[in-house]
Structure 1
Amino acid sequence: MLDAQERSAHCPVCENECLIPEGGTGRCGRYENSRGAVVERFPDRYLLSCPIKIETMPLLHFHPGARFLQLSTVGCNFDCPGCISTVIVREMNPDSRALHRLTPEQVVEKAIQHGCDGVTFLMNDPLAAFDTFIAVAKQAKAKGLKVGCASNGYFSRQAMERVIPLLDCINIGVKGLSDSGYQDCAGFKGVSPVLRNIKLFHEAGVHVEVACIHKRDNAGELLELAAILRTISPGIPLQVMRFIPLEGADPDQEPLIRDTEELCVTLRQFLDHVYVFNSPGTDMLDTVCTECGERLARRDFYGPMGARLLKVDVGGAPPVHCPVCGHEAGMTGLPTMSGFKEKHFQGGYPFTRALEIVESILIAMGAEDASETVSVWEHLLCNHKMQDLHHDIQRTDKYAELVRFFGSLVGRETAAEELATYLEEKTERVRRLCAGQKHSPRVYYAMGKPLFCIKGERFENHLVELCNGISVNRELELGGRPGMSIGRETLIRLNPEVIFISSFLSNSPDVFHQECEDKGIDVEAVRQRRIHTSPIPSSDFGSPKWVLGLMHAANAMHPEAARFDIDKEAREFHDRFYGGDFDPLGVNRSFAKPNSAWRWDVPVR
């Protein structure tokens, strides 16, 4: 009879190579040892399968504008602090009824029905469902579709041998260059496997783009990473993700958009193509010819970690080139421009933000463990209610109805009524205070930089109108999500008297003001320095904390009538609905969690 050690088996999927006892699971919980064979525990189950543009993945230099079927499961082989996908990698039950089962053949058929050029796994790592990924990839290749994924790149050598022949493109998220940083993410062999795999993918002809987070204290690591990538190929695009502090992440590590842009100017001395993400209004998502400076592709911010292709101008059959000087554009494949639009809360990370909004409501009504949130997620997903959710969170009255409805789903009607009534009473007080003012100021709502305009139908503009303001955003027809960049002349024509900057992807009002002056944006709000962002992050959309943003907006728009003590209101709100003290230094950009120290008492694993 074999002893316990002999019945154990190493997991062959990721570089951690967990030693799994018979009947046990590895660290990630997605693989088990069944009679000496390591097998996937939850195969062929998807939380999300929907068509997206390749820039949502994001990939910028691979068949620009192509349509792919996004596939997302749950779980991850890593456990990164401040993960933007926490709700699906840590909190969604992997055996949830919200996950739908599709065979590889059904996945590929769905991609074909939606007119997709390929399939791609993203939002959580394909290493969490590797056998499923491989099976889908084989079926996709057999039908002439392309195969891609976004991954932390921690493939074992054995996994690399399986995936390289099937993979056309990959976005590899590098967690930094220190072994200790990787170990904090559960990458126990440090960074070297990732750098090895980037090189192996590139040498095998797989299209590789690399993403890395920029924090206040890691500019040196990004410069070192750029130097390393240059030794592999200076043509590898580097996506610099400006840090959004979510979950348990330190809010003090968030850099200004200006700081990330300045770093990327330096990084372009090493690499041909460096891009700035998570920075609405930046022009550093555009592709520029490295020879003559011609702008070859124009893109806009498209939600966290995403980009939207606006225009591409390259010539010839692959490899495509600059139409002005003929220099190669550094893109794989021909571009495609179409009118296809992704649905609300589908495609990329806006989906996870939607789940966070639901979670924020449950936490504010006193939910004690993650399973209560999961049950509401399941209701919405199983009944195809995500589009309704997007509609219902755009008005305060509908929001209060949602609170009561979610409370009824989890048996917390009394707590839900208390929260909904509080929101309604505060909203009515603001409305009455502001309604008596004779002047209704013209208000512009931006996100990040001055020229990124939030869409008129969004919740933030509803708050402006509750404060007896005129939302100039509603005067524009805008696409994109959560809005789009507008021209300088358009903003001057709107001539707002007050400007608000989103409290999610925000900016310093002083830096914002300087950028307006630098761009010659001569409007009343700039002349009078009436530029504001809420002192409470993520308090003007999504979370019930929007009521604090509403009171702040009233103060800014009608200081003669509204004099809310926002710090006092925040302390009372946190004490009443979160059962804890309010520490402004501990609040980050998370919609869901009250502060960076908050944890579920009973997590779902």
Structure 2
Amino acid sequence: MSTTEYLVCDFCYRHCRLKDGGIGFCGVRERSGDTIFTHNYGGLVSSAIDPVEKKPLYHFLPGTNTLSIAMFGCNLTCTFCQNYAISQRAWEEGAQRTYYTAREVVQLAVDNRCPSISFTYSEPLVWQDYMVEVATFAKREGLKTIMVTNGTFSEESLIRISPYIDAFNIDIKGDEAFYRNYCGGSGHPVWNAIEHIAPSRAHLEITTMIMEGVHTREMISSIGRHLYSAGVQVWHLSRYFPRYQEQKRETSEHYLKEVVQEAQESMVPFIYPGNSSLDQNTYCPYCRTLLVRRSWVSLESIIDHSNCPVCGRHIYGTWS
């Protein structure tokens, strides 16, 4: 029996203080005696072979497939959650799981000739112990690792996770009022994580889902300036579609185009529209040479060993 009244879970910025038998905000971290453990460890609620561009990552191993996996859980309560049935606490009990050891996940990636494993769909922060175990075995097999996350790291988890992840896609959901009103959280830890990761060895791309009538051009301009100041190179702006508790009308292509044009004023070098028919090709930011041509069904890369074939300038990314 524990003599400590509270133990602190350091998996995310919330630092939940748990009494014996207590469960964290995410619903999957529980205390028993002097131990905090993750429910249903290794129980995958989703797995798939995806194009890496779906994460979205446009500058990291383009044209390859990635093994995408998720355990249950999230530490935010976004009203527009796209994957609420495998992330939001009310659905935890009924989730269908298939259990894999870390070694089995890595073997699955090898068998399917995937050069990377992506921790995605739900929020990997709340099952980071499993993620780190899988990533450890993945490194031994020469595989790359990808974390798609809301970015609300604790300082401890950022230090713990960073050595094991090759590429991050982090959501910037909006300004602080947006986080408070729509996500039940805060953007401050997200910015802290971006400022830590952007200058590191890890690859980083940012995603913002654009909700027409909520994400104003002024908000996007402010986010863009902050991203540019942090050294971010790649920013995805994706159309919103009604999902979960949020039933605002879908974002129009016209409005997304306006927002993309506004974002381009930030000087972030590579900005892409998502969930859209707008141009998603990659161009050299220095001479405008077409480097990667993308369509719904194909991808053609023209870039040569991370350099523009015309002007020779370095292009951010991991291209092979």
- TM more than 0.5: yes
Q: Is 1:333 the equivalent of 2:319?
A: yes
Which residue is 1:80 aligned to?
A: 78
Which residue is 1:286 aligned to?
A: 281
Shift of 1:294: 1.7
Q: Out of 197, 204, 208, which is 1:201 matched to?
A: 197
Q: Out of 249, 255, 260, which is 2:256 matched to?
A: 260
Contact 2:12–2:126 under 8 Å retained in 1: no
Matches within 5 A, 1:40-59: 40-59=38-57
Shift of 1:118: 1.4
Shift of 1:229: 1.0
Q: Which amino acid aligns with 2:243?
A: L
Q: Is 1:186 the equivalent of 2:175?
A: no
* Distance in 1 separating the partners of 2:319 and 2:180: 33
Q: Out of 223, 226, 229, which is 1:225 matched to?
A: 223
* Distance in 2 separating the partners of 1:126 and 1:245: 24
Q: Is 1:247 the equivalent of 2:229?
A: no
* Distance in 1 separating the partners of 2:93 and 2:13: 25
* Distance in 2 separating the partners of 1:331 and 1:272: 12
* DSSP 3-state at the match of 1:98: coil
Contact 2:173–2:209 under 8 Å retained in 1: yes
Matches within 5 A, 1:46-445: 46-90=44-88, 93-94=91-92, 98-179=96-177, 181-182=179-180, 184-187=182-185, 190-215=186-211, 216-218=213-215, 219-233=217-231, 236-252=233-249, 254-270=250-266, 271-279=268-276, 281-283=277-279, 285-301=280-296, 309-315=298-304, 317=305, 320-334=306-320
The TM-score, its normalising length taken from structure 1, stands at 0.50
Cα pair distance change 1:266/1:2, threshold 3 Å: closer
Shift of 1:183: 6.3
Q: Unaligned regions of 5+ residues in structure 2, if any? A: none
Cα pair distance change 1:69/1:173, threshold 3 Å: same
Cα pair distance change 1:164/1:97, threshold 3 Å: closer
* DSSP 3-state at the match of 2:106: helix
RMSD in angstroms over aligned alpha carbons? 2.0
* DSSP 3-state at the match of 1:76: coil
Shift of 1:265: 1.9
Contact 1:52–1:68 under 8 Å retained in 2: yes
Contact 1:297–1:309 under 8 Å retained in 2: no
Query: Larger radius of gyration, structure 1 or 2?
Result: 1
More strand by share: 2
Cα pair distance change 1:172/1:329, threshold 3 Å: same
* DSSP 3-state at the match of 1:7: coil
Shift of 1:332: 1.8
Cα pair distance change 1:183/1:156, threshold 3 Å: farther
Aligned length: 317
Contact 1:175–1:182 under 8 Å retained in 2: no
The TM-score, its normalising length taken from structure 2, stands at 0.93
* Distance in 1 separating the partners of 2:252 and 2:21: 49
Q: Which amino acid aligns with 1:154?
A: T
Cα pair distance change 1:161/1:309, threshold 3 Å: farther
Spell out, residue by residue over 1:143-191, the C-alpha distance to the aligned partner (whole angstroms, 9 max, x if none): 211111110001111111110011100110112121562464232xx21
Shift of 1:91: 7.4
Shift of 1:264: 0.9
Which one scores higher on RCO, CA 8 angstroms, separation ≥ 6?
Answer: 2
Cα pair distance change 1:160/1:183, threshold 3 Å: farther
More helix by share: 1
